[in-house]
Amino acid sequence: MTLREQLTRDGFTLVPRDNRLFDVFPHLVRHRGFELWEKWDAKEVSLVQIKYQMPKTKPIYLTFRRREVEKALLAGQIITS
């Protein structure tokens, strides 16, 4: 099973490159060769960034409080950690 298949099975969805999540998390790359996956639940937002260009690196896994992400999206703020 590929990582993409596993993420889909676990409830993650692929984030389009024009999504506002990239404005909230500017350290996440939105270039070709990178993918950002998201999963929202009642209390948390989980993000996974995958690099497919060479050299490949391990996926980056991030989890944030949902309230914090929603507040940043509404206010146009940046989350740096």
* 69 exposure class (CB count in 10 Å sphere: 0-12, 13-18, 19+): buried
Residue at 63 is within a domain: yes
Domain that holds residue 47: 3-75
Residue 46 lies in a domain: yes
What pLDDT, on the 0 to 100 scale, is given for residue 32?
81
- pTM for the full predicted model: 0.87
SS3 category, 1:
coil
Q: Is residue 26 in a domain? A: yes
Q: Would you place residue 55 in the very low, low, confident or very high pLDDT band (cuts 50, 70, 90)?
A: confident
Render pLDDT for 4-49 as a digit per residue (tens, 0 to 9). Answer: 999 999 999 999 988 998 889 888 877 888 899 999 999 999 999 9
Q: What per-residue confidence (pLDDT) applies to 80? A: 78
Question: Does residue 36 fall inside a structural domain?
Answer: yes
Q: Is residue 80 part of a domain?
A: no
Separation of alpha carbons 74 and 13, rounded Å: 21
- The pLDDT assigned to 81 comes to 66
Domains held by the chain: number: 1
CB distance 33 to 51 below 8 Å: yes
Under a CB-based contact definition with an 8 Å cutoff, are residues 60 and 37 in contact?
no
Find where tokens 């989890």 sit: 63
In a domain, residue 81? The reply is: no
pLDDT of res. 29: 79
